[in-house]
Homo-oligomer: A and B are copies of this chain.
């Protein structure tokens, strides 16, 4: 196996404001994100040679036309990638391979989802209707991980609440976040219960949004508008675990094998030996507060069992030694499914370039984005680095 390292560069990023965008169609969101990315790259729409669109929800959009129709880009290839909640980052991954193969010079990866119109009840998740756990919800599933960890490690609702407080503090500063207000520990702890021990502030919201990236080879990036601050793709890992890990007797509910697989592959590909020391910042999949804590462990930011301490001790703060979700995360952006992975890459790119929309991480050189789906059956880990 080889590596994507030094073969692919990001030269433009775009992102809509996330939120309850009742007045916008998915087509509007794609156009808004993609045109912002193209403008950022200084690339004309007609210069796009191929595109990839990440979207889960078949009733919002189907096939490559989800991108080509609103963009009026006909004659070029557009692939739809769907991989549960990791759809957006996997669309980006496939776009990277196509560029690295030498076939295309300039391509776009875009993620989009519109959840407000139909809600997750419309999602094609018949898998949730398992004969044993029939009809369980996403909060209900992730709550099982929280209770198991409470029992195993002695974590508490306070440990979960610290994640929500940190992410709301960050999200309050981000102009594109859905929720833009700080919350207190008391707010988080007294919020209505969704699925014990996960209260309202432990769960990410339903949102609409889109994000896009313009990708090329480094030699072309060297002549681009962002020639001085383009971002290199250092690793592009995806891993599948069993399709319904939380319905499996072998699941220990103490972490996600898919994340561990993908992290191991990504670190090997990027040549990262000690992620806790080498990674400057991370956007991780905090669909629930407990997930973010488990991600710290699965990604090797801290030892197994130390996830709650990692956030409590401030390591994950914007001014900590490994800032996590400086954007506000899924907690403040919500999780329009296909969009999230590309939104994370948008954020990491701008952080590395020193032009974050919200809270800026200092001296960021190597950034990680982590997108979990399935729930827990698939994980995408991308590592981006500054050109210099």
Contact = CB atoms under 8 A, between A and B. Distances in A.
Given A65-B378, A82-B80, A374-B65, A74 B257 contact: yes
Given A1-B103, A3-B103, A64-B83, A75 B124 contact: no
A97 interface: yes
Interface stretch (A162-170, A234-242, A339-347, A362-370): A234-242
Interface stretch (A55-63, A141-149, A151-159, A223-231): A55-63
Given A59-B126, A83-B79, A64 B240 contact: yes
A240 B49 CA distance: 12
A1 B104 contact: yes
A245 to B, nearest CB: 10
A136 interface: no
Contacts of A84: 62-63
Contacts of A64: 83, 238, 240, 378
A93 B94 CA distance: 10
A213 interface: no
A271 interface: no
Contact of A240 (B77, B82, B101, B127): B77
B69 A242 contact: yes
Most buried by B among A73, A76, A257, A378: A378
A68 B98 CA distance: 23
A45 to B, nearest CB: 14
Contacts of A3: 102-103
Task: Count identical subunits in the complex.
Answer: 2
Contact of A100 (B74, B102, B126): B102
A97 B52 CA distance: 13
Contact of A97 (B97, B124, B261): B97
Given A79-B81, A97-B100, 5 more contacts: A65-B377, A79-B83, A79-B94, A80-B82, A81-B82
Interface residues of A, number: 58
A93 B127 CA distance: 29
Contact of A63 (B104, B105, B378): B378
Interface string A323-348: 00000000000000000000000000
Contact of A2 (B102, B236, B257): B102
A135 interface: no
A242 B83 contact: no
A373 interface: yes
A7 B101 contact: yes
A254 B126 CA distance: 41
A31 to B, nearest CB: 14
B82 A49 contact: no
Contacts of A104: 1-2
A73 B238 CA distance: 13
Given A75-B239, A83-B79, A101 B65 contact: no
A90 interface: yes
A42 interface: no
Given A59-B124, A80-B81, A238-B79, A103 B68 contact: no
A173 interface: no
Nearest to A77: B238
A172 interface: no
Contacts of A192: none
6 contacts: A4-B103, A59-B126, A63-B374, A64-B83, A69-B242, A78-B238
